């Protein structure tokens, strides 16, 4: 049972991405450190063995030279002196034997070799190499491992010089234990650090998860709280909060649009139904029935117009039309609109003026022309007969600007900020559905531009600005 609980806890811990990433990188760092420690350990051991070998070789060469200069008896006295001077008594090993194999002096005895196919004796084995080698021997009757080298002297005698490597083994053991301890401590610190990092990361993510859960339950105003720290999560918090602001704005717009659609479509449909019902219950006069049908058709055409404008706004806001952008001339576009409306303006006694520079901007010509005609229609409707309406295309501060200005009564200041909202009308009694300026704003936004409404006292000025990056002037 306890094992199952421990296994379940480990699975939950391993399920954390933060834990796995931290553990993997920490284990990589620990493995690298352990490898470097082991490499250093090997080099230190090699250095110790080289140092011990050098000491043995130097001692053997010095004694061999002493023999060459003063003879065998002097060498025997020298070895006896070395063995009795209490210096390195625990480590030094010497053996001097005559040509006949008789041991003259020394504290070293060889252990017979156990390999039948190898050299006959350790002496023969040492003669095969000039470098010191490790052999198991008896020093003062005690079995030890020594680093030995052999010198054959000129008179046929043999000198063996060696050193007990117990000190070197102790150093090796000490360094090895230090490497193992360092590795274990590093692994422990890895586990502790991984757990701490996971907990810290979980606390950072917890606020994001909590906000996401609450937004999912309908709390669209919920936002990730700000923190004083500066790290990658700050930008993530900013991006998510910006996304939530946009989602809340869109959802609020959808609710408002739904309410407005229900309100604005219910009245025309009720009128259509009432007229048709009256005609059905009437005297049956064909003229009355025709008038009722014409009125119903007009109402339904208005509803179709509303649907088309809503569809246009939706397409513009979704960016579907952006793929149809081509360079168009604002001068040609405004001149086309001017030619379309100039006869109507003359009949109404309106002075329509067009001033346009030849500026090319990437745009959807139909959408942009539709937005300008909406502004002209509004100017005709509210400025009235005898007014002066100006269409202008210019470049200001590297930005293309389209302006439609009239000298009518303008718009009260408290209404300027709401112009362009769906179904919003300054004067509710005026015919219309309040979708014209909403469609203009959507088209301008699609083109990456901005729209601004200003009272000119008298009149209203609508300015459309397109980004500088989208401009090429001829």
Residues 387-433 have pLDDT tens digits of 899 999 988 877 888 999 998 888 877 777 777 676 666 666 666 66
Mean per-residue pLDDT of the chain: 79
Domain carrying residue 299: 234-318
Among 115, 185, 106, 170, smallest CA distance to 138 is for: 106
Predicted local confidence at residue 320, as pLDDT: 53
Cβ atoms of residues 372 and 337 within 8 Å: yes
CATH number at residue 361: 3.30.565.10
Q: What are the structure tokens assigned to 460, written together?
A: 């209203």
**What angle is formed at CA 350 by the lines to CA 344 and CA 356, rounded to 5 degrees?**
85
pTM: 0.46
Q: What is the CATH number of the domain that holds 313?
A: 1.10.287
Are 331 and 311 in the same domain? no
Q: Is the pLDDT of residue 184 over 50?
A: yes
Banded pLDDT at 474 (limits 50, 70, 90): very low
| Selection from 144, 79, 150, 145 nearest residue 121 by Cα | 150
Residue 337 and residue 464 in one domain: yes
Cα distance between residue 330 and residue 365, in whole Å: 9
Query: Is residue 335 situated within a structural domain?
Result: yes
Indicate if the pLDDT at residue 97 is higher than 60.
Answer: yes
Task: Tell me what pLDDT residue 181 has.
Answer: 85
Same domain, 265 and 394: no
DSSP, residue by residue, 192-258: HHHHHHHHHHHHHHHHHHHHHHHHHTT-TT--PPP-S--SHHHHHHHHHHHHHHHHHHHHHHHHHHH
Torsion of CA 320, 322, 328, 329, to 10 degrees: 90
The pLDDT value given to residue 403: 92
Of residues 82 and 324, more confidence is placed in: 82
**pLDDT tens column, 191-209:** 777 777 777 777 777 888 8
d(CA 23, CA 31): 12
Statement to judge: residues 290 and 330 lie in one domain: no
Query: What one-character-per-residue DSSP string does 145-178 give?
Result: EEEEEEEE-TTS-EEEEEEE-HHHHHHHHHHHHH
Give the model confidence (pLDDT) of 331-357 as tens digits: 898 999 899 888 888 888 889 999 888
| Distance (Å, whole) CA 299 – CA 294 | 9
Same domain (yes/no): 257, 337: no
* 343 shares its domain with 444: yes
Which pLDDT does position 432 carry in this prediction?
63
- Same domain for 329 and 314, yes or no, is no
pLDDT at residue number 265: 66
Specify the number of domains making up the chain: 2
Residue 343 CB neighbours (<10 A): 10
pLDDT tier at 469 (50, 70, 90 boundaries)? very low
Q: How does DSSP assign 427-439, residue by residue?
A: STTSSS-S-HHHH
Q: Are residues 378 and 426 in the same domain?
A: yes
Are 272 and 373 within one domain? no
Quick one: 446 and 329 in the same domain? Answer: yes
The 10s digit of each residue's pLDDT in 239-279 is 888 888 888 877 776 666 666 566 566 667 777 777 777 77
Q: Is residue 418 part of a domain?
A: yes
Is position 299 within any domain?
Answer: yes
Residue 460: inside a domain, yes or no?
Answer: yes
The domain boundary residue, chosen from 318, 334, 349: 318
Tokens of 157: 């005698």
Contact of 149 with 25, CB cutoff 8 Å: no
Q: Is residue 183 part of a domain?
A: no
Whether 420 and 302 share a structural domain = no
Mean pLDDT of 69-80: 89
Could you say which of 318, 353, 374 is where a domain stops? Answer: 318
Predicted local distance difference test score (pLDDT) of residue 390: 92
**Terminal CA-CA length for the chain:** 83
Q: Which residues contact 62 (CB under 8 A, 6 or more apart)?
A: none
- Whether 35 is in a domain gets the answer no
**Quick one: residue 459, left, alpha or beta (phi over 0 = left, psi -120 to 50 = alpha)?**
left
Residues 298 and 387 in one domain: no
Q: Give the model's pLDDT for residue 237.
A: 82
> What is the reported pLDDT for 114?
65
- pLDDT one-digit tens code per residue, 295-327: 778 777 777 766 666 666 666 665 555 556 788
Asked whether residue 392 is domain-assigned, the answer is: yes
> Where is the domain boundary, 318, 350, 374?
318
Q: Per-residue b/e over 126-136, b at no fewer than 16 CB within 10 Å?
A: beeeeebbebe
Question: Is 275 within the bounds of a domain?
Answer: yes
How confident is the model at residue 85, as a pLDDT? 79
Average pLDDT score over residue span 444-458: 85
């Amino acid at each position: 049972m306890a094992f199952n609980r421990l296994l379940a806890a480990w699975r939950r811990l391993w399920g954390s991405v933060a834990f796995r990433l931290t553990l993997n990188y920490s284990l990589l760092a620990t493995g690298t450190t352990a490898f470097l420690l082991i490499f250093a350990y090997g080099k230190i051991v090699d250095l110790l063995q080289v140092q011990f070998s050098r000491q043995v070789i130097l001692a053997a060469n010095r004694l061999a030279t002493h023999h060459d200069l003063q003879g065998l008896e002097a060498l025997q006295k020298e070895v006896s002196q070395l063995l009795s001077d209490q210096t390195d008594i625990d480590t030094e090993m010497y053996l001097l034997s005559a040509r006949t194999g008789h041991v003259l002096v020394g504290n070293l005895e060889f252990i017979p070799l156990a390999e039948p196919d190898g050299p006959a004796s350790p002496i023969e084995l040492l003669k095969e190499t000039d470098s010191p080698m490790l052999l198991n021997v008896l020093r003062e009757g005690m079995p030890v491992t020594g680093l030995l080298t052999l010198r054959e002297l000129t008179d046929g005698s043999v000198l063996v010089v060696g050193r007990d490597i117990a000190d070197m083994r102790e150093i090796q053991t000490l360094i090895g234990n230090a490497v193992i301890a360092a590795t274990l401590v590093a692994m422990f610190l890895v586990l502790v650090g991984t757990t701490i990092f996971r907990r810290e990361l979980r606390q950072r993510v917890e606020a994001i998860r909590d906000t996401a859960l609450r937004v999912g339950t309908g709390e669209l105003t919920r936002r990730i709280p700000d923190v004083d720290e500066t790290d990658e999560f700050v930008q993530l918090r900013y991006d998510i909060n910006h996304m939530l602001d946009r989602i809340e704005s869109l959802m609020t717009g959808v609710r408002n649009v739904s309410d407005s659609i229900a309100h604005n479509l219910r009245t025309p449909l009720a009128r259509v139904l009432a007229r048709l019902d009256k005609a059905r219950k009437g005297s049956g006069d064909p003229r009355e029935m025709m008038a009722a049908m014409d009125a119903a058709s007009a109402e339904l055409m208005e509803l179709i117009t509303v649907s088309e404008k809503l569809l246009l706004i939706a397409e513009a806001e979704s960016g579907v039309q952006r793929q149809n952008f081509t360079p168009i001339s604002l001068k040609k576009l405004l001149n086309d609109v001017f030619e379309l409306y100039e006869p109507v303006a003359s009949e109404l006694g309106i002075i329509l003026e067009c001033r346009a520079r030849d500026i090319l901007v990437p745009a959807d010509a139909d959408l942009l022309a539709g937005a300008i005609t909406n502004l002209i229609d509004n100017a005709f409707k509210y400025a009235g007969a005898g007014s002066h309406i100006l269409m202008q295309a210019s470049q200001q501060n590297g930005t293309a600007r389209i302006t439609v200005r009239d000298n009518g009564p303008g718009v009260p200041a408290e209404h300027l900020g709401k112009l362009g909202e769906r179904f919003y009308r300054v004067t509710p009694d005026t015919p219309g559905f309040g979708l014209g300026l909403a469609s203009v704003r959507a088209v301008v936004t699609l083109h990456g531009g901005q729209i601004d409404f200003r009272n000119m006292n008298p009149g209203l000025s609508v300015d459309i600005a397109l980004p500088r990056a989208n401009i090429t002037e001829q």
